[in-house]
Amino acid sequence: MNVFLTGSTGFVGGEILKQLLDAGHRVRCLVRSGSENKLAPHPRMEVRSGDATEPDSLNGALANCDAVIHLVGIIREFPYRGITFQKLHVEATRNILRAASTQGVARYLHMSANGTRENAVTPYHQTKWQAEEAVRGSGLDWTIFRPSLIFGAHGEFVTMLANLIRKFPVVPVFGDGRYRMTPVAVEDVAKGFVAALNRPETIGQIYHCGGAKSYSYDEMLDVFGKVLGKGRVLKIHQPLALMKPAVSLLESIPAFPITSGQLTMLIEGNECDSKPWGDALGIDPISLEEGLKRIFGH
């Protein structure tokens, strides 16, 4: 199959690209100018210069493709640089959908996010929902994936928590640390996308993607500590009444590690029932603990 892929230079996109090529597909990667060297050459991979936020760059880009996998998204806005949720989530999705429709590509797989809903309170989830609405109204043969927290060897989440636990005797935690999530391995997320390409029964479906087990944030820290040989992690819980105004004050600083929206989503939790996804696509997802053991060689 000829697959048009956006976001191929990203954390999830790189794994999906690898699995597509391993499965024998031919992949045309949409890559912004200057990022071409991030992809290793492959005889069945083609690099197409363009940008999902610039519709003119998509003219003819999808010609002769059988399917589109659209992954472009951000977790943080930088409005002064033109990086916004509205632009990257909503406008980019509309541009790709329009290009697919006009260039005769009916099959469309879309990356969304767990927690996305019509009455979402954060701009991240609101714009993910708007993008989904565009997908559902596109007339294409769509499938939507909503992963929980994605982890992997080169992901920011694993790197950040591993560094915190290795370097500091006590780890700060926002609030009570009881908010829960169902972390999913990047390899399993990629398996779902690749498997769905050849399964017509997945058309018109929305899948929540999670790992084998849910954890509270405190429990996740202890899993990291166990795998890293640190044992149970000492934690200091920061009262939300103090942290919310502090985050609101400092979030405009690019180096500050969290925004108000990210804090809200963290406290909301990110659990999901991944059984329908696993059953439909033949995936037996691993747990965070098993994934970390593989990453750190235990």
CATH of the domain at 25: 3.40.50.720
Pick the closest to residue 5 from 17, 19, 15, 22 (CA basis): 17
Q: How high is the pLDDT of residue 34?
A: 87
Q: How high is the pLDDT of residue 280?
A: 98
Beta bridge partners of 67: 3, 107
Beta bridge partners of 109: 69, 143
Domain that holds residue 114: 2-147
Cα separation, 204 vs 138, in Å, equals 11
Q: How high is the pLDDT of residue 298?
A: 66
The verdict on residue 230 lying in a domain is: no
Q: How many domains does the chain have?
A: 1
Q: How high is the pLDDT of residue 36?
A: 87
Contact 100, 62 (CB under 8 A): yes
Could you read off the pLDDT tens digit of each residue along the chain, which spans 298 residues?
Answer: 999 999 999 999 999 999 999 999 999 999 998 888 899 999 999 999 999 999 999 999 999 999 999 999 999 999 999 999 999 999 999 999 999 999 999 999 999 999 999 999 999 999 999 999 999 999 999 999 999 999 999 899 999 999 999 999 999 999 999 999 999 999 999 999 999 999 999 999 999 999 999 999 999 999 999 999 998 999 999 999 999 999 999 999 988 999 999 999 999 999 999 999 999 999 999 999 999 999 998 6
The verdict on residue 111 lying in a domain is: yes
Q: What's the token pair of residue 198?
A: 């050849």
Pick the closest to residue 128 from 71, 53, 209 (CA basis): 71
Q: What's the token pair of residue 42?
A: 């492959």
The verdict on residue 199 lying in a domain is: no
The verdict on residue 19 lying in a domain is: yes
The verdict on residue 14 lying in a domain is: yes
The verdict on residue 233 lying in a domain is: no
The verdict on residue 71 lying in a domain is: yes
Q: How high is the pLDDT of residue 33?
A: 87
The verdict on residue 136 lying in a domain is: yes
Q: How high is the pLDDT of residue 297?
A: 86
